[in-house]
């Protein structure tokens, strides 16, 4: 069995329709695969910290006999970007519970590719920009009271349950093979990667964090650079900056 989530609970009520059900299934499958590969789930909710703590507890302390205790941590300090930056490892998952207007969460999501992590954003009302997160689980109801009514809790309870449904089918947990038929893949070799400056250096070089780790990158084309700045890296050289709006 590969690639398809088995039948699970039918999700029809509380504003969770067919599209959101599909988003939940896809996010759960990816989350199960990351956990199977050794990932930790890092949870942030700057405006609603109890949600971050609740998500972490759901995964660490399962209530159903026989289900796995999965590594999850709530980060609840004043600077989500700094806390996530020092906590995550490549392959981990960051889950945020926040509105689309939350600048700190948007900054975390924007940096995630440089840290090599998968992102999942739960929220309501106006949606984040397309591509802001790998997975978006969203309730379109604009009611500002929604975060306190249980809608978010339902979403991450279902996420937890469906993740464990995947664990019941080990054939689902292997990552699909990435195939490239050419000896040198032109598309892959020409792809820019996101990097975050760790420390600027002398001679037009800087230490930059990418999904592959810390790299020495030539910054001649974009100098001066500062720690925390996002760059597009190609062939060992920074070719452009990414601003706080995610634009090159």
For residue 131, the domain's CATH number is 3.40.50.10490
- Cβ burial 49-59 (10 Å sphere, 16+ → b, else e): bebbbbbbebb
Q: Does a structural domain hold residue 5?
A: no
Helix (H) or strand (E) holding 73: strand 72-74
In terms of domains, do 127 and 229 share one? no
In terms of domains, do 123 and 165 share one? yes
Q: Residue 67: its pLDDT value, please?
A: 84
CA nearest 200: which of 242, 167, 238? 238
In terms of domains, do 142 and 194 share one? no
In terms of domains, do 98 and 31 share one? yes
Q: Residue 36: its pLDDT value, please?
A: 96
What are the angstrom distances between the C-alpha of 15 and each of 58, 150, 155, 162, 163? 22, 12, 10, 18, 21
Mean pLDDT by 10 residues, the chain (248 residues): 47 67 96 97 96 96 84 96 97 97 97 98 95 96 88 93 93 77 50 93 94 95 95 95 75
Q: Residue 64: its pLDDT value, please?
A: 79
φ/ψ of 159, rounded to 5, equals: -60, -45
Domain residues for the domain of 64 are 18-172
CB 83 within 8 A of CB 203: no
φ/ψ of 208, rounded to 5, equals: -130, 135
Give the chain's domain count.
2
Q: Residue 175: its pLDDT value, please?
A: 80
In terms of domains, do 208 and 89 share one? no
Q: Residue 150: its pLDDT value, please?
A: 87
In terms of domains, do 116 and 212 share one? no
Q: Does a structural domain hold residue 13?
A: no
In terms of domains, do 163 and 213 share one? no
Computed over its alpha carbons, how large is the radius of gyration of the chain? 19
- pTM value surpassing 0.85: yes
Q: Does a structural domain hold residue 218?
A: yes
Q: Provide the 10 A C-beta neighbour count for residue 25.
A: 21
In terms of domains, do 80 and 148 share one? yes
């Amino acid at each position: 069995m590969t690639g398809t989530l088995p039948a699970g609970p039918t999700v029809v009520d509380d504003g969770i329709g067919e599209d959101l059900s599909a988003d939940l299934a896809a996010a759960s499958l990816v989350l199960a695969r990351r956990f199977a590969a050794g990932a930790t789930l890092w949870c942030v909710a700057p405006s609603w910290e109890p949600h971050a703590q609740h998500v972490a507890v759901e995964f660490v302390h399962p209530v159903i006999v026989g289900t796995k205790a999965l590594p999850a941590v709530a980060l609840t300090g004043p600077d989500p970007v700094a806390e996530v930056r020092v906590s995550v490892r490549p392959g981990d998952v960051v889950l945020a519970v926040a509105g689309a207007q939350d600048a700190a969460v948007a900054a975390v999501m924007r940096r995630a590719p440089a840290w090599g992590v998968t992102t999942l954003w739960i929220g309501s009302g106006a949606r984040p920009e397309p591509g802001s997160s790998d997975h978006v689980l969203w309730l379109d109801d604009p009611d500002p009271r929604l975060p306190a009514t249980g809608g978010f809790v339902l979403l991450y309870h279902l996420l937890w349950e469906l993740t464990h449904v995947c664990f019941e089918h080990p054939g689902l947990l292997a990552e699909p093979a990435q195939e490239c038929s050419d000896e040198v893949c032109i598309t892959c070799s020409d792809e820019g990667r996101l990097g975050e400056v760790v420390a600027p250096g002398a001679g037009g070089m800087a230490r930059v964090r990418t999904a592959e780790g810390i790299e020495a990158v030539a910054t001649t084309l974009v100098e001066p650079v500062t720690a925390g700045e996002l760059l597009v890296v190609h062939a060992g050289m920074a070719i452009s900056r990414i601003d706080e709006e995610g634009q090159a």
